């Protein structure tokens, strides 16, 4: 081996090369960001258009449909999601991942620009922005105190928000429950009627006042002076003296027809903390920023801000994602260290020499530290995926070094000098070790190249493993033989005392097992058909157990947080919503496990963040607590509750189905049927639909003929009603550097119910006309929200499971029952969404990655053995790994998920590693003239120790991960379960099945060669 010979001849060169890798690794580690998940750029664009007062149906027909049509023409659009609410249209465009987010946003901006003229004239300018679905708040704050909500809002806006905006890494700040100042001119409809004033007249007059307008310049050439017309109001009371009109030569002022109130805007959100009114602040970090560092900076600023708060005001950090990230990253690091220690102890027990153990153990820190350099170059961060890759690779990293150092020690025991043993021992295994490492690369490279959103997250996982094992191979061929030649002694030094006795006892026992295995192999080779039959039965039996395994996307994790989402009754005011929320909080506060409650209420929905005590300090599991909360909360009238827990990046309902169609009324009928099916499936909880019953609506229908005769237009009616009941901003009031809206509308006691539509007058051709003369009022309902998906209406049905049924089982039952019990006509269909859609896409991508891995394993083996047949002796042993993986998942109760699938893919590489060592030695012995079965027996005697060493090191390295003791570790544990179970069975079965398959294929090859030779002889004879 070139690298080995070079490092033996030039040890300083080898040492400084490794030291250089360590140096750049340490420097890179210091600069790596720490986040929960990899930073992924999503090509999502959101378009928001506001049309004050428009109904959801109007928003859908006049705005949403036109936006969808325009966006749908853009290249690369994958899905279009749209929502039409009262006065607001929101359209999300999801592009294929290959599309640049910047290009996607610009394409949407250009397309919307071309249809701007087709949209209603009274809309606000469309807001087009990139949308990051992973941009969740990294911290939430609650401001409470004895001050009024308006005074608290001033503190938040002027002090807290301004200081937070200066923090490096803070991207956006969302505020809930704030009460903003607004100047109200509250009209008296009776006085308007008495003076014969119309709203249009009042509005136009007020818009002509309270102004400050530049007037140009005056100058004589040498000097010039700017002119400015100043008519702005300096005190709120002065609004009362603004002129509005003249009647019979008398000037009328605002004070004659309205009351001036220094008030607040209508609240569109509420916030509560620990059951008390509060102002909530959600902080979202900039894309690519270090979550932990940003959170630390926020805490430092908050410590300063608290010193400046007025007396009686409290500022609390309710939610801090950096704590969980820090704890979880620390847990993965501890897992990595614990696994490394266990792996090194395993090597020590087998090698019985601290020198050789230390030499082999050096591969772990060297490979991990050097990997940080690759992570930095590739733009990776320290997150769950990359750190999990390193903890998973602990057993792999020491594998190459174990095999090499064990073989060097074996050659040393044969009487060779340390230098000869290092050169010969490494050279003998060079090709085999290279092949074993390349098979692992062949397994994880496709994982790192998976497509789809989930593939983007696993990119860092797969490539981190690939680089770390390549470094470990380099270390095994350079540092390990070089140190072995310098540090190992020819005579064996066993430790004394109890440790020495244990090592002697263990190795004597292992030697007996090795001898038994060699003898057992003779029996197996005499009964090849029976051996293969048993192995086949085990494999088929394990496949039959797969239906017993549930399937889910990402296993849920207990991080001590729950998210309660409550859909409130349609038409409920903010005050009433606050009362209902208070009842819910009272229920939740009755649980001793609850430490914090943080509530936000928006758009007829309440969101409650529930912080629990650490899982080690409570008796109930998070699933049990969620179930108990669900039962008690759903007993509150007028509330439909969903209790979610975080699974991966999602904190919403795990199961979603989209019901698509054109007729919303018909969709509602089908949705109710589907919802009943969903509720009847055992194990289903939190069943809900996105369709809400219509909000009560009073429709003012114009009598066209009467209105035309009296000279009243529909626009005049609409403008008058919108001014009186919705209000119109006529100007702004400046106080210092702040500006506040001045809104004109009816006084509050004149707009309580539909009876207040009386005594409202409209401008007509012959004077004022009563509204009641040209219209009639009809009671109706309108949907509070219309959802659309890919340019058709949709109702989303969602639910969770209580753990007794998996997502895969539920999906199968639900789809079968829908097909059987619901005869959906053409134009109506169900579409899987949420985790179910992602699970299907991911499992397909993983299956492709698995096939690719197996294909490249074959290529590597064929290249190594220079044979197309010999690789099959190893390839046919791959199914043996599946047996243990399925049994292990069943035993511990884990579902088949994205994590366990990664574990199974990894097993393909691990099984191959063991088989390569066995077959490679066999072929070397046969090349020396040893008979086939004897060569296999010698290979068994020689290679059993490194095979068992590497497998045991890998299993023990995975053990801390499998125990799932840290926060959120349950989500990572299924990977370790699959690997440990698969390694145990595959190691045992590989040692038996691989030699059998090898002999059968060798016989087949011999027969084929003989047959070919006979044909050639027959051809020559002819």
Alpha helices in 722-781 (DSSP H): 771-774
Domain boundaries, the chain: 1-30+352-493, 41-133, 181-214+227-266+695-782, 496-548+867-1021, 561-694+785-837
- Domain 181-214+227-266+695-782 = CATH 3.30.365.10: no
Q: Dump strand ranges (E) for 692-764.
A: 695-702, 728-735, 738-746, 761-764
Q: Dump strand ranges (E) for 344-501.
A: none
Q: Which CATH class is domain 561-694+785-837?
A: alpha beta
Cβ–Cβ under 8 Å, residues 724 and 760 = yes
| Residue 220: strand, helix, or coil | coil
Segment holding 213, helix H or strand E: strand 212-219
Q: Which of 439-448, 468-477, 1013-1022 has the lowest mean pLDDT?
A: 1013-1022
How confident is the model over 915-921, as a mean pLDDT?
83
Q: Which CATH class is domain 1-30+352-493?
A: mainly alpha
Q: What is the pLDDT of residue 64?
A: 92
Q: What is the pLDDT of residue 68?
A: 92
Q: Which of 434-443, 590-599, 752-761, 863-872 has the lowest mean pLDDT?
A: 752-761
Cβ–Cβ under 8 Å, residues 217 and 226 = yes
How confident is the model over 400-428, as a mean pLDDT?
83
φ/ψ of 182, rounded to 5, equals -150, 135
Residue 301: alpha-carbon gap to chain centroid: 28
- In the chain, % of residues over pLDDT 90: 6
The burial class, CB within 10 Å (0-12 / 13-18 / 19+), for 36 is buried
Q: Evaluate if residue 648 carries a pLDDT over 60.
A: no
Q: Which of 47-51, 82-86, 145-149, 777-781 has the lowest mean pLDDT?
A: 777-781
Number of Cβ within a 10 Å radius of residue 277? 17
* Residue 129 pLDDT grade (very low, low, confident, very high; cuts 50, 70, 90): confident
Question: pTM of this prediction?
Answer: 0.76
What single string gives the DSSP state of each residue in 891-958? HHT--B-HHHHHHHHHHHHHHHHHHHHHHHHHHHHHHTT--HHHHHHHHHHHHHHHHHHHHHHHHHHH
> Which of 907, 336, 320 minimizes the C-alpha distance to 559?
320
Q: Which of 355-359, 493-497, 675-679 has the lowest mean pLDDT?
A: 493-497
Q: Give the span between the Cα atoms of 165 and 916, in whole angstroms.
A: 59
* Residue 22 pLDDT grade (very low, low, confident, very high; cuts 50, 70, 90): very high
Pairing of strands 258-264, 250-253: unpaired
Q: Give the span between the Cα atoms of 252 and 246, in whole angstroms.
A: 6
* Residue 489 pLDDT grade (very low, low, confident, very high; cuts 50, 70, 90): confident
Query: How big is the CA angle at 999 (ends 995 and 1002), to the nearest 5 degrees?
Result: 135
How confident is the model over 261-286, as a mean pLDDT?
86
Q: Give the span between the Cα atoms of 778 and 702, in whole angstroms.
A: 11
> Which of 438, 458, 428, 425 minimizes the C-alpha distance to 396?
438
Q: What is the pLDDT of residue 930?
A: 86
Q: Give the span between the Cα atoms of 45 and 130, in whole angstroms.
A: 4
Q: Evaluate if residue 337 carries a pLDDT over 90.
A: no
Q: What is the pLDDT of residue 1022?
A: 55
- Summary count for the chain: helices (H), strands (E): 33, 31
Q: What is the pLDDT of residue 614?
A: 84
Query: How big is the CA angle at 975 (ends 970 and 980), to the nearest 5 degrees?
Result: 115
Which two tokens mark 643?
A: 């209790």
How confident is the model over 1012-1018, as a mean pLDDT?
75
| Residue 196: strand, helix, or coil | coil
Q: Give the span between the Cα atoms of 982 and 443, in whole angstroms.
A: 16
How confident is the model over 769-795, as a mean pLDDT?
81
Task: Give pLDDT tens digits for 281-298.
Answer: 999 888 777 788 889 999
Q: Evaluate if residue 59 carries a pLDDT over 50.
A: yes
Largest CA distance in the chain: 134
What single string gives the DSSP state of each residue in 454-471? HHHHHHHHHHHHHHHHHH
Q: Which of 129-138, 675-684, 954-963 has the lowest mean pLDDT?
A: 129-138
| Residue 35: strand, helix, or coil | coil
How confident is the model over 739-749, as a mean pLDDT?
86
Residue 639: alpha-carbon gap to chain centroid: 28
Task: Give pLDDT tens digits for 792-834.
Answer: 888 888 888 877 787 888 888 888 888 888 888 888 888 887 7
Q: Give the span between the Cα atoms of 584 and 566, in whole angstroms.
A: 9
Q: Give the span between the Cα atoms of 691 and 677, in whole angstroms.
A: 17
Task: Give pLDDT tens digits for 685-701.
Answer: 888 888 776 666 777 77
* Residue 571 pLDDT grade (very low, low, confident, very high; cuts 50, 70, 90): low
In DSSP terms, 472 is beta-bridged to none
Q: What is the pLDDT of residue 688?
A: 84
Q: Give the span between the Cα atoms of 480 and 476, in whole angstroms.
A: 5
Q: What is the pLDDT of residue 647?
A: 46
Pairing of strands 181-187, 738-746: parallel
Please check whether the two domains, 41-133 and 561-694+785-837, share a CATH topology: yes
Q: What is the residue-averaged pLDDT of the chain? A: 83
Q: What is the pLDDT of residue 507?
A: 83
757-to-201, 203, 265, 678, 767 alpha-carbon distances in Å: 19, 19, 23, 45, 19
Residue listed under structure tokens 């429950």? 177
Residue listed under structure tokens 């229920």? 587
> Which of 731, 768, 745 minimizes the C-alpha distance to 189?
745
> Which of 89, 110, 100 minimizes the C-alpha distance to 46?
89
How confident is the model over 376-380, as a mean pLDDT?
89
Q: What CATH code is assigned to 496-548+867-1021?
A: 1.20.1640.10
Q: What is the pLDDT of residue 25?
A: 92
Cβ–Cβ under 8 Å, residues 554 and 898 = yes
Q: Give the span between the Cα atoms of 860 and 439, in whole angstroms.
A: 7
Q: What is the pLDDT of residue 693?
A: 66
Those residues whose C-beta lies under 8 Å from the C-beta of residue 755, and which sit 6 or more positions away, are: none
| CATH of region 41-133, choose from 3.40.50.12160, 3.40.190.10, 3.30.70.1430, 3.40.50.1970 | 3.30.70.1430
* Residue 493 pLDDT grade (very low, low, confident, very high; cuts 50, 70, 90): low
Q: What is the pLDDT of residue 495?
A: 66
Cβ–Cβ under 8 Å, residues 553 and 647 = yes
Q: Give the span between the Cα atoms of 909 and 66, in whole angstroms.
A: 53
* Residue 47 pLDDT grade (very low, low, confident, very high; cuts 50, 70, 90): very high
Residue listed under structure tokens 């002090």? 159
Q: Evaluate if residue 664 carries a pLDDT over 70.
A: yes
């Amino acid at each position: 081996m070139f690298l080995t010979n070079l490092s033996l001849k030039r040890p300083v060169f080898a040492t400084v090369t490794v030291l250089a890798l360590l140096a750049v690794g340490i420097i890179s580690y210091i600069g790596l960001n720490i986040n929960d998940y990899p930073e992924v750029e999503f090509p999502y664009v959101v378009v928001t258009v506001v049309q004050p007062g428009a109904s959801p149906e109007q928003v859908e027909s006049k705005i949403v449909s036109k936006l969808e049509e325009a966006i749908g023409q853009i290249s690369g659009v994958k899905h279009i999601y749209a929502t039409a609410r009262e006065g607001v249209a929101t359209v999300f465009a999801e592009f294929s991942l290959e599309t640049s987010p910047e290009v996607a946003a610009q394409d949407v901006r250009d397309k919307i620009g071309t249809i701007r003229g087709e949209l209603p004239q009274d809309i606000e300018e469309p807001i087009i922005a990139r949308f990051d679905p992973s941009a969740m708040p990294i911290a939430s704050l609650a401001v409470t105190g004895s001050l009024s909500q308006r005074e608290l809002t001033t503190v938040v806006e002027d002090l807290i928000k301004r200081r937070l905006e200066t923090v490096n890494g803070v991207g956006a700040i969302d505020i809930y429950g704030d009460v903003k100042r607004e100047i109200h001119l509250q009209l008296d409809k009776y006085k308007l009627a008495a003076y014969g004033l119309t709203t249009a007249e009042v509005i136009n007059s007020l818009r002509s006042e309270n102004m400050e307008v530049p007037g140009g310049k005056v100058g004589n050439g040498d000097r010039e002076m700017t002119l400015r017309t100043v008519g702005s109001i300096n005190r709120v009371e002065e609004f009362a003296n603004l002129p509005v009109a003249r009647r019979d030569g008398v000037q009328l002022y605002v004070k004659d027809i309205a009351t001036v109130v220094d008030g607040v805007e209508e609240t569109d959100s509420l916030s509560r903390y620990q059951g008390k009114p509060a102002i909530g602040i959600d902080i979202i970090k900039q894309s690519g920023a270090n979550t932990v560092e940003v959170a630390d900076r926020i805490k430092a600023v908050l410590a300063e801000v608290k010193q400046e708060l007025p007396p009686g005001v409290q500022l609390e950090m309710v939610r801090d994602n950096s704590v969980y990230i820090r704890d979880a990253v620390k847990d993965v690091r501890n897992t990595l260290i614990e696994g490394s220690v266990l792996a090194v102890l395993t090597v020590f027990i087998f090698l019985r020499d601290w020198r050789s153990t230390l030499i082999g153990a050096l591969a772990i820190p060297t490979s991990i530290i050097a990997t940080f350099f690759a992570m930095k170059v590739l733009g990776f961060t320290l997150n769950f995926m990359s750190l999990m890759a390193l903890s998973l690779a602990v057993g792999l990293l020491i594998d190459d070094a174990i095999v090499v150092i064990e073989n060097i020690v074996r050659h040393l025991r044969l009487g060779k000098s340390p230098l000869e043993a290092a050169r010969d021992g490494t050279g003998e295994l060079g090709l085999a070790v290279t092949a074993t490492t390349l098979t692992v690369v062949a397994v994880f490279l496709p994982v790192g190249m998976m497509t789809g959103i989930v593939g983007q997250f696993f990119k860092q996982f797969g490539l981190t493993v690939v680089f770390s094992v390549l470094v470990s191979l380099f270390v095994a061929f350079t540092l390990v033989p070089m140190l072995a030649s310098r540090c190992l002694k020819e005579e064996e030094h066993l430790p004394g005392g109890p440790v020495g006795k244990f090592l002697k006892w263990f190795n004597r026992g292992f030697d007996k097992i090795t001898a038994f295995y060699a003898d057992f192999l003779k029996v197996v080779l005499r009964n090849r058909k029976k051996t293969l039959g048993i192995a086949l039965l085990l494999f088929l039996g394990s496949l039959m157990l797969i239906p017993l395994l549930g399937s889910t996307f990402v296993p849920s994790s207990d991080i001590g947080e729950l998210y309660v989402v409550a859909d409130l009754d349609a038409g409920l005011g903010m005050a009433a919503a606050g009362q209902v929320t208070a009842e819910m909080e009272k229920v939740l506060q009755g649980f001793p496990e609850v430490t914090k409650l943080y509530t936000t209420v928006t758009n007829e929905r309440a969101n409650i963040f529930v912080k629990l005590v650490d899982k080690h300090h409570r008796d109930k599991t998070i699933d049990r607590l969620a179930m108990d909360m669900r039962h008690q909360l759903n007993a509150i009238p007028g509330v439909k509750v969903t209790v979610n827990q975080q699974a991966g990046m999602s904190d919403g309902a795990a199961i979603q189905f989209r019901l698509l169609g054109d007729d919303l009324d018909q969709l509602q009928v089908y949705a109710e049927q589907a919802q009943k099916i969903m509720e009847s499936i055992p194990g289903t909880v939190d069943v809900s639909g996105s369709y809400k019953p219509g909000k009560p609506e009073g429709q003012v229908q114009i009598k066209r003929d009467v209105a035309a005769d009296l000279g009243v237009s529909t626009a005049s009616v609409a403008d008058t009603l919108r001014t009186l009941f919705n209000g119109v901003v006529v100007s702004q009031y400046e106080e210092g550097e702040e500006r506040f809206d001045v809104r004109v509308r009816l006084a509050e006691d004149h707009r309580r119910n539909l009876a207040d539509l009386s005594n409202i007058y409209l401008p007509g051709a012959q004077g004022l006309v009563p509204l009641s003369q040209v219209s009639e009022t009809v009671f109706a309902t309108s949907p509070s929200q219309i959802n659309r998906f890919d340019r058709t209406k949709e109702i989303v049905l969602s639910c969770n499971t209580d753990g007794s049924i998996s997502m895969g089982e539920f999906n199968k039952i639900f789809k079968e029952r829908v097909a059987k019990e619901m005869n959906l006509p053409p134009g109506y269909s169900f579409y899987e969404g949420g985790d179910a859609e992602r699970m299907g896409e991911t499992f397909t991508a993983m299956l492709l990655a698995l096939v690719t891995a197996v294909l490249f394993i074959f290529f590597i083996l064929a290249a190594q053995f220079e044979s197309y047949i010999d690789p099959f002796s190893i390839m046919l042993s791959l199914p043996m790994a599946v047996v243990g993986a399925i049994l292990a998942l069943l035993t511990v109760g884990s579902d088949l998920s994205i994590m366990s699938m990664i574990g199974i893919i990894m097993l393909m590489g691990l099984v191959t590693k063991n088989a390569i060592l066995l077959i490679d030695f066999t072929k070397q012995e046969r090349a020396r003239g040893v008979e086939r079965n004897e060569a296999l027996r010698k290979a068994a005697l020689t290679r059993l120790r490194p095979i068992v060493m590497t497998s045991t090191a890998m299993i023990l390295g995975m053990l801390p991960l499998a125990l799932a003791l840290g926060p959120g570790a349950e989500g990572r544990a299924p990977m370790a379960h699959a690997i440990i179970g698969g390694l145990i069975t595959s190691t045992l079965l590989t040692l038996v099945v691989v030699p059998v398959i090898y002999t059968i294929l060798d016989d087949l090859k011999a027969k084929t060669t003989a047959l070919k030779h006979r044909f050639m002889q027959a051809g020559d004879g002819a």
